[in-house]
Amino acid sequence: MLDPRVAQALAASGRRVVITGAGGWLGLATLDSLASALGPQFARRIRAFGSSARTLHLRDGIDIEQRPLAELAALSAAPTFVLHFAFLTKDRAEEMDEAAYRTANEAIGDQVLAALEPIGAEAVFVASSGAAYKAHDAAASPAMRLYGELKLAEEDRFVAWAEAHGRRAVIARIFNVTGPYINKHQAYALASFILDGLAGRPIVVRAPREVMRGYVAIDELISLALAEMAAAPSGVVRFDSGGQALELGEVAHVVAGHFPRVTVDRAPIVEDGPDLYFGDDAAYQARLRRHGIVAQPLAEHVAKTIDYLRGGQ
């Protein structure tokens, strides 16, 4: 659920909210939070767009129709916040030809940028990635560098739109999030740990080197994004998602704490060169405090993720 004050302000504003990439993890989790915040207004105030037309099924039996992204510019003009999640992720960079991957992501950005003025966008939130810091990191994989390079370029394109039109752009470089609708369970360590816990298996961390991650709750992050979008009529804001940096063995223990008989087996750390992927938590926490948003403890938002996965979603 959104922070109560953010939810109240959004409900009172009357603004339309457009979600691109609505059928992905972040899009679905955002729609879920907006449904709770807006109640009966949800169907009238929210528009969802993605790669194709389909019905998106949310919890509590709520459905919303997703329209193809190509139809975005056909919306009538109205005061609008745009939450932009549409992007081919790093796993697609590993599978696709580089030129095709570049072309596909640039085309998505072109469609959204071309629609912002015609539909009356007052502010846009761009879900960037911590991978933007890896764009020029020789130690990162080629797919990570490519993904990061394109995320960085997308940030700059939306900044240019905001500056040219006197609008608001809020950009979050997202590292690690928790919450409902989590997907690609074997690709995310946290989801894998939770599935082991639900099955009653020991949680095994096999990485031979130190792996540091920081997690935030998706509804907390979206609350902050909406608060920043409403904070001023123009200007650009960029921030990292935060979360206390923990070694994966510590994260595994947080998960295991929700399962009385589940143990953690952390393999010995025998290699140098830690794997670091976390944002500036001090700056993130300061930004939360500025808007009166209370940070959720890790154990609490891990519990929400467990509840979602326990339901077989």
Interval 282-302: pLDDT, tens: 999 999 999 999 999 999 999
Contacts of residue 2, defined as CB under 8 A and 6 or more positions apart, other chains included, come to 10, 33, 34, 36, 37, 219, 222, 223, 226
Angle subtended at Cα 175 by Cα 34 and Cα 39, rounded to the nearest 5 degrees: 5
225-247 residue pLDDT tens: 999 999 999 999 999 999 999 99
Number of domains in the chain: 1
In a domain, 197, yes or no: no
Q: Which region among 9-18, 177-186, 216-225 has the lowest average model confidence (pLDDT)?
A: 177-186
In a domain, 122, yes or no: yes
**What pLDDT does residue 198 have?**
96
Mean pLDDT of the chain, nearest integer = 96
In a domain, 114, yes or no: yes
Q: Give me the mean pLDDT over the 85-104 stretch.
A: 95
What is d(CA 242, CA 233) in angstroms, rounded to the nearest whole number? 25
Q: Give me the mean pLDDT over the 258-268 stretch.
A: 97
Q: For every residue of the chain, which 3-state class applies, written as one string?
A: CCCHHHHHHHHHHCCEEEEECCCCHHHHHHHHHHHHHHHHHHHHHEEEEECCCEEEECHHHCEEEEEEHHHHHHCCCCCEEEEECCCCCHHHHHHCCHHHHHHHHHHHHHHHHHHHHHHCEEEEEEEEEHHHHHCCCCCCCHHHHHHHHHHHHHHHHHHHHHHHHCCEEEEEEECEEECCCCCCCCCCHHHHHHHHHHCCCCEEECCCCCEEECEEEHHHHHHHHHHHHHCCCCEEEEEECCCCCEEHHHHHHHHHCCCCCCCEEECCCCCCCCEEECCCHHHHHHHHHHCCCCCCCHHHHHHHHHHHHHCCC
Q: Give the whole-number percent of the chain exceeding pLDDT 70.
A: 99
CB 200 within 8 A of CB 262: yes
In a domain, 249, yes or no: no
What is d(CA 182, CA 125) in angstroms, rounded to the nearest whole number? 20
In a domain, 110, yes or no: yes
| 305 DSSP β-pair partners | none
The single residue listed with the structure tokens 């519990």 is 303
**What pLDDT does residue 248 have?**
98
Domain that includes residue 153, residue range = 4-178+215-242+280-295
The single residue listed with the structure tokens 């959720």 is 296
Contacts of residue 99, defined as CB under 8 A and 6 or more positions apart, other chains included, come to none
In a domain, 46, yes or no: yes
What is d(CA 273, CA 78) in angstroms, rounded to the nearest whole number? 51
Encoded tokens for 28 = 């679905």
The single residue listed with the structure tokens 């909406």 is 226
Q: Give the whole-number percent of the chain exceeding pLDDT 90.
A: 96
Residue 188: is its pLDDT beyond 90? no
In a domain, 108, yes or no: yes
120-174 residue pLDDT tens: 999 999 999 999 999 999 999 999 999 999 999 999 999 999 999 999 999 999 9
In a domain, 253, yes or no: no
Residue 312: is its pLDDT beyond 70? no
Residue 313: is its pLDDT beyond 70? no
**What pLDDT does residue 101 have?**
97
Here the CATH number for the domain that contains residue 28 is: 3.40.50.720
